[in-house]
Amino acid sequence: MNKTQSKEFRMFDTTLECLSNYQSKWEPITAIGLLKEKLGVNIALIRDLNKKKSSSLSNPVTAGKDKTKELLEESIEVLGGIVISYAEATGQKELLQKVKLLTKSFARKRETDIEPKVTTFLDLVRELQPQLGGYALTEDMLAEAETLCTQFVSMVGAPRKITVQSSSANSEVDNLVSETKKMLTNQLDNLMLRFRTRESEFYNAYCQARSVVEPASHPREKQVDEQQPT
């Protein structure tokens, strides 16, 4: 939430707290009870949306992706070393060049180019596996590389996805804040007018709770110094 929304959210909270503290005063009025319930639901939704935004920051995802990329490159480097050694020993120059190209450092590769090269290389290693018995190549080594590749692919573009999700959450918060303000101004404030004279303590407490954002005088209020709902 931005600063304005944060202040408004605090106002929603103080208004809900006020209604809870003085429940005996308004309890016979069902309409106020329904508005209080709706206010509580909206506050919970806004709080939940902000928690989701906070837990969806792109930095941890990017850090995890970089680490996965590093582990994947190490795994491919080990497998590449095995196949290169085999190609050298058997004089297979074409295989040697192909493997060197496919296992070349990921540093300058675009993220979207890594997966196709890794997949092609792993397919090649599986084809050669029967001939690599003396090179300590294990199924676990291949499975690890495949798993890391799958994990990396799933992370590519994740920060962008999170940005879109965050934007959507911002929009939902905007709508909820706007809806809640209108509900208070157009409905609850008007229902509270009946308490202005006969329950002035409750009414003044309500006005104070509603004035957290921007105190102002109610146009119908006779007491000049008394803060009123905004």
The more confidently predicted of residues 139 and 106 is 139
State the pLDDT at residue 87: 93
pLDDT for the residue numbered 195 = 94
Q: How far apart are CA 97 and CA 181, in angstroms?
A: 68
Question: Cα–Cα distance between 206 and 229 in angstroms, integer?
Answer: 8
Provide the 8-state DSSP code for 185.
I
What pLDDT sits at residue 1? Answer: 61
What's the mean pLDDT when you consider all of the chain?
Answer: 82
Range name among 43-57, 84-98, 141-155, 197-211 with the lowest pLDDT average: 43-57
In angstroms, the CA 156 to CA 150 distance is 10
Report pTM.
0.48
Tokens of 21: 């503290």
pLDDT at residue 81 in the model: 93
The b/e string for 12-26 (b: 16+ C-beta within 10 A; e otherwise) is bbbbbebbeebeebb
Q: Is 156 left (phi over 0), alpha (psi -120 to 50) or beta?
A: beta
Distance in angstroms (rounded) separating the CA atoms of residues 173 and 150: 34
Place 60 in a pLDDT band, splitting at 50, 70 and 90.
low
